[in-house]
Amino acid sequence: MAPRPPFAVGSTDTRLDLLNELAFRDWVAQNKVPFDPNAPPSDYDMRGFYQALQQGSPIAATAVNPNDHLLHYPDYWKNPSHVTFSSESQFAGPGAPSWINDSQLASPNGRIVYDEQSPPVTMGSILGVR
């Protein structure tokens, strides 16, 4: 198992019982959620988002990002391996980067580690998946 970043705390995999897992998979399919429920653990805890959505959590909401005009899910369920993992994640600990200027992710020392207005080219960005 690869070591986890020092700012990551706790487990990042929400487990659902069988009935909820089936309902989750149906929700993914019906809503065309860009998530493969058969894939190994990913950089986003989509099951955790789904569970919070079903419980009526106000933070379980999607929005179109004004920088890339794509649908985004809250940082709260981003895992430490996510390219834009931030202090807003439930899995963040001391030292996690924070969002500034509505588009930049900065480490605690102020260094910009990601800029949504000039993101790196990735296969996901080419395919329109975030």
In a domain? residue 118:
yes
Question: What pLDDT does 1 receive?
Answer: 35
Position 73 in a domain: yes
How many domains, the chain? 1
User: What pLDDT does 13 receive?
Assistant: 83
What tens digit of pLDDT does each residue of 8-52 get?
444 578 999 999 999 999 999 999 999 999 988 889 999 999 999
Q: CB-hemisphere CA count at 13 Å for 98?
A: 8
Residue 86's domain comprises 18-127
pTM for the model stands at: 0.80
Whether residue 77 is contained in a domain is answered as yes
Q: Residue 4: its pLDDT value, please?
A: 42
Average pLDDT taken over every residue of the chain? 86
CB atoms within 10 A of CB 62: 13
**Domain membership flag for residue 55:** yes
* Cross-strand partners of 53: none
Residue 26 lies in a domain: yes
Q: How many CA atoms lie within 13 A of 109 on its CB side?
A: 2
